[in-house]
C-alpha cells in the first residue's frame, strides 16, 4: 500500500544552518555504502567542469570488486557487485510526492543542504605554515603495509602526503643520531618534501619541564632539520590518562614556556595545542591563549562502541561541530584521527560502517568546516593494537572498503601534499541553503545526511528535485551534486530524497523558510 509522504521541518543551531528532518526506514542492511557519481543517463556534468582525477563511480566499484576478489575478500567483492547492480537499476520511475509514492517511516535523521559560493578573502594574516584554503593530508604510518617507513606512504596510498606524524619521549636520546630531536625521521621527510608533526610528550610530568639544555638542544635540532615542524606539545591534556593532566594553570605556564623557547630558537616550529575531543568540558581550562597557539589540534576518533555498548548512530561531524565553533578563530588540524573498523574484544568487524564514517571525515568535514587545514590519520595496525593492549583496529589497509575510499577521497584538490604558507587552491566555500528555492543556473550543492538511524547506515544515493524534475544525484560522500536550475523553476521549492541500495526511498527533506 502506498500513501503520501508526510513532511516535517526542523532547525539545528550549528553555525546557523537549517536542518530539515526527514523520515528514514531503518533497514539494517550492512551493505549500505556511500559511493557516488552521476549516471550519464540521468545527469551529465556541465562541459566546463574539470575532468575528475579518479574513475567514475561504476568503474571504481568494478576495480574494487576485482581487487577484493584477488585479495580473498569475497564478501567485499560481493558488496561491490551489488552496488553495480543497484546502480544499473537506476532511480525509481514513479513521480515523487504522488499518491503512489511509498510511505517513509521511522523518523531517524536530518539532512542539511549547502551550496557552493565564491570565497571571500577575509585576511592575509595567516598562522605559521597555514594555507589560505584546503587541508594538508597527513599520516602516522604504523599500519601493516607502511611499517613506520614514511617513504612507502605514497606508493601504498596513491598520493604524496604533506605531514608525517612521529612521537618523541621526553628526555629520550635518539641513539642512532645522538640527538633528542627525531633527526633520522626528519631527514626522510625532508627528502619527501614534507613536514613533520611531532607528538612531544612530557612523560615525567610537568614539574620536569624546564628551560634547560634538553629543551634548548631539542629546539636547535628542530631548526637544523630545515623542514616545517608542527610541535604538538603535551597533547590530550584534558584526559586523565596522561601524566600532564590535572593542573590547568601549570599546563598553561609550561606550554607558554615551550612556545617562547621555540620562538627564540626554532622559527620553523609551529606550536600546536591539541586536546582530545573527549572529555570536552575541561578543554577550555587548558588553553594557553591566542598569543601562544599557532594551530589548534584535536584527536578525533569514531568507534563502534561507547562505554562498552555498541553505538553506531551519528558521525564525527556531530562530535566535532561544537569544538569547531569554539576554536575556529585559529587554523585547526585533526592532529590524529581515525575510524575503527574492528572491535578486538570480540573480533567483530564493522567494515561497511567504517567506510561510511571515512566519507564523513575526509569528504564532508573539511568542506563544511573550512578552518580545518590538516588531517592526520592515525594508521595503527592490528598487530600494534594487540601489542599495546588496544581495543580497536584503525588500519585503513585491513579494511578493503576504507582502503579504496581513502585513496579515492584524497585525490581531491581540496587536499594538499605540500606545506606552503598562504597557498590558496580552493576558490569557493559552501554555505547553508536557508530557503525553499535555489539560485538559477549551474550550481554545485553538498548534502550532509546526518545519521540518526541506530545502525549508522548512510544512503546509497541522494537526489535533488524540483517538483518531479530531477536536478542531480550523487552516490558517494561528500554527496556533491552538480545541478542546473531552470529560470522557469526559480520559485519552485527543492527537495532531496535518499535511497538505499534497493533503490527504495528511505529519507526525504524539503527546503525551509526558517532562518533560526
Task: List the catalytic residues.
Answer: 236, 336
Lateral strand order in the sheet of 494-499? 469-474, 461-466, 494-499, 505-510
Contact 457, 32 (CB under 8 A): yes
Residue 300 forms beta bridges with which residues?
A: 337
Closest CA to 323 of 362, 291, 279: 279
**Backbone phi and psi for residue 433, each to the nearest 5 degrees, phi listed first:** -85, 115
End-to-end CA separation in angstroms for the chain: 37
User: How would DSSP label each residue in 394-457?
Assistant: --GGGSHHHHHHHHHHTTSTTEESS--TT-----EEEEE--SS---SEEEEEEEEEE--STT-P
User: Strand pairing of 415-416 and 428-432?
Assistant: unpaired
Q: Please, is 264 exposed, middle or buried when counting C-beta atoms within 10 Å of its C-beta (0-12, 13-18, 19+)?
A: exposed
* Neighbouring residues of 389: CB distance < 8 A, sequence distance ≥ 6: none
* Relative orientation angle of helices 57-70 and 74-89, to the nearest 10 degrees: 160
Q: Please, is 468 exposed, middle or buried when counting C-beta atoms within 10 Å of its C-beta (0-12, 13-18, 19+)?
A: exposed
The whole-angstrom separation of Cα 102 and Cα 117 is: 35
The whole-angstrom separation of Cα 516 and Cα 514 is: 6
User: Strand pairing of 505-510 and 494-499?
Assistant: antiparallel
The whole-angstrom separation of Cα 409 and Cα 476 is: 10
Residue 90 forms beta bridges with which residues?
A: none
User: How would DSSP label each residue in 479-516?
Assistant: -EEEEEE-GGGTTSPEEEEEE-TTS-EEEEEE------
DSSP annotation of 140: E
Number of H helices, E strands in the chain: 11, 23
Closest CA to 503 of 467, 473, 456, 460: 460
CB pairs under 8 A, 24+ apart, for 183-186? Answer: 183/221, 183/225, 185/150, 186/225, 186/227
The whole-angstrom separation of Cα 233 and Cα 255 is: 7
Amino acid at each position: 500500500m502506498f500513501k503520501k509522504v508526510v513532511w516535517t521541518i526542523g532547525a539545528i543551531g550549528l553555525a546557523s544552518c537549517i536542518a530539515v528532518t526527514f523520515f528514514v526506514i531503518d533497514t539494517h542492511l550492512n551493505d549500505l555504502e556511500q559511493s557516488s557519481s552521476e549516471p550519464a543517463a540521468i545527469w551529465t556534468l556541465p562541459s566546463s567542469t574539470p575532468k575528475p582525477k579518479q574513475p567514475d563511480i561504476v568503474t571504481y566499484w568494478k576495480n574494487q570488486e576485482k581487487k577484493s576478489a584477488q585479495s580473498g575478500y569475497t564478501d567485499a567483492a560481493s558488496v561491490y557487485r551489488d552496488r553495480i547492480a543497484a546502480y544499473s537499476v537506476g532511480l525509481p520511475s514513479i513521480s515523487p510526492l504522488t499518491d503512489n509514492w511509498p510511505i517513509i517511516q521511522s523518523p531517524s535523521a536530518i539532512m542539511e543542504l549547502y551550496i557552493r559560493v565564491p570565497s571571500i578573502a577575509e585576511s592575509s594574516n595567516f598562522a605559521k605554515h597555514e594555507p589560505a584554503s584546503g587541508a594538508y593530508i597527513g599520516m602516522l604510518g604504523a599500519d601493516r603495509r607502511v611499517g613506520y617507513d614514511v617513504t612507502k606512504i605514497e606508493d601504498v596510498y596513491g598520493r604524496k602526503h604533506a605531514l608525517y606524524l612521529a612521537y618523541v619521549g621526553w628526555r629520550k636520546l635518539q641513539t642512532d643520531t645522538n640527538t633528542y630531536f627525531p633527526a633520522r625521521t626528519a631527514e626522510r621527510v625532508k627528502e619527501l618534501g614534507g613536514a613533520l608533526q611531532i607528538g612531544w610528550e612530557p612523560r615525567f610530568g610537568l614539574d620536569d619541564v624546564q628551560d634547560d639544555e634538553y629543551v634548548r638542544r631539542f629546539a636547535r635540532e628542530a631548526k637544523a632539520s630545515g623542514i616545517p615542524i608542527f610541535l604538538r606539545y603535551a597533547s590530550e591534556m584534558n584526559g586523565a590518562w596522561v601524566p600532564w593532566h590535572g593542573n590547568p594553570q601549570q599546563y598553561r605556564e609550561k606550554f607558554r614556556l615551550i612556545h617562547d623557547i621555540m620562538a627564540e630558537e626554532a622559527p620553523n616550529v609551529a606550536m600546536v595545542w591539541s586536546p582530545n575531543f573527549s572529555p570536552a568540558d575541561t578543554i577550555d581550562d587548558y588553553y594557553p591563549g591566542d598569543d601562544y597557539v599557532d594551530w589548534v589540534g584535536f584527536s578525533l576518533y569514531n568507534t563502534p562502541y561507547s562505554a562498552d555498548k555498541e553505538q553506531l548512530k551519528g558521525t564525527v561531524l556531530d562530535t566535532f561541530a561544537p569544538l569547531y565553533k569554539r576554536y575556529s578563530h585559529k587554523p585547526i588540524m585533526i592532529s590524529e584521527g581515525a575510524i575503527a573498523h574492528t572491535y578486538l574484544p570480540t573480533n567483530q568487524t564493522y567494515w561497511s560502517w567504517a567506510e561510511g564514517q571515512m566519507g564523513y571525515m575526509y569528504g564532508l568535514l573539511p568542506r563544511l568546516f573550512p578552518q580545518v587545514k590538516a588531517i592526520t590519520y592515525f594508521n595503527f595496525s592490528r598487530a600494534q593494537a594487540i601489542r599495546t593492549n588496544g581495543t580497536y583496529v584503525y588500519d585503513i589497509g585491513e579494511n578493503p572498503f576504507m582502503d579504496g575510499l581513502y585513496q579515492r577521497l584524497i585525490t581531491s584538490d581540496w587536499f594538499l601534499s605540500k606545506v606552503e604558507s598562504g597557498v590558496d587552491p580552493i576558490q569557493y566555500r559552501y554555505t547553508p541553503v536557508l530557503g525553499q528555492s535555489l539560485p538559477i543556473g549551474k550550481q554545485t550543492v553538498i548534502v550532509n545526511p546526518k545519521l540518526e538511524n541506530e545502525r549508522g547506515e548512510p544512503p546509497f544515493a541522494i537526489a535533488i528535485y524540483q517538483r518531479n524534475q530531477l536536478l542531480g544525484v550523487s552516490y558517494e560522500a561528500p554527496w556533491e551534486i552538480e545541478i542546473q536550475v531552470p529560470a522557469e523553476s526559480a520559485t519552485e521549492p527543492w527537495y532531496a530524497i535518499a535511497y538505499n541500495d534497493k533503490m527504495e526511498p528511505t529519507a526525504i527533506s524539503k527546503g525551509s523558510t526558517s532562518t533560526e
